[in-house]
Chain A
Amino acid sequence: EVQLVESGGGLVQPGGSRRLSCAVSGFNSVNYWMSWVRQAPGKGLEWVAHIKEDGSERYYGDSVKDRFTISRDNAKNSLHLQMNRLRAEDSAVYYCARVRDIVQADFDNWGQGTLVTVSS
């Protein structure tokens, strides 16, 4: 069974940093692009970042570019999101998601999400 389990969420002060992790199991992650998608409370979905199967390519949404870094450790079946210079508008549930097919860029498996709250 495919499973994605996020961790690392919590309360962070504006300007602070947080590192999210996603443990994956039930599939060979080296064969898939992986992504982070977020959802602010009561709002819609926003794509955050993609990372290629081998980690050689990374892409970001405009709102997080130059502040967030996506990475992966295929040996440990994990995905990460390093978030720096956090702002109130970064408060959201962060989901890790598997990209079924990068040409179609559809997300076929999702974690349960981890909540990040940026507030003083």
Chain B
Amino acid sequence: DIQMTQSPSSLSASIGDRVTFTCRASQNIDYHLNWYQQKPGQAPKLLIYAASSLQSGVTSRFSGSGSGTDFTLTITSLQPEDSAIYYCQQSYRTLQITFGQGTRLEIK
């Protein structure tokens, strides 16, 4: 299986800040990387697909980049509602999907 490692495991930031999360794959996955946001008690929400494509309806404060093994999710102008856990997911092996362990974002 392709292992996905996210860092940091948790992060605390202030309203208005710019934050960046990292996701690293154990092998090359080209651009087959998706990002999700999950708030407590809710289902995950797709934010970014194909490493950098913004899902319809998602604010442009979210952006993704990267290819190969290293990927980033960036949130600009942090808002209180951005407090959540963020997961990356590889789809290079479409029939053996794996997720990262998540990064918890706390808003100070």
Contacts and interface: CB of A to CB of B under 8 A. Distances in A.
The secondary-structure label for the interface of chain B is: loop
Contacts of B97: 35, 47, 50, 61, 105
A104 B50 contact: yes
Interface of A: 35, 37, 44-47, 50, 59, 61-62, 95, 100-108, 110-113
Interface of B: 1, 32, 34, 36, 38, 42-46, 49-50, 55, 87, 89, 91, 94-102
Contacts of A46: 99
B46 A45 contact: no
A44 B43 contact: no
20 contacts: A44-B87, A44-B99, A45-B36, A45-B38, A45-B99, A50-B95, A59-B95, A59-B96, A62-B96, A100-B49, A102-B94, A103-B94, A104-B49, A104-B50, A105-B89, A106-B55, A106-B89, A107-B44, A108-B46, A108-B55
B72 to A, nearest CB: 17
A47 B100 contact: no
A95 B45 CA distance: 12
A44 B5 CA distance: 12
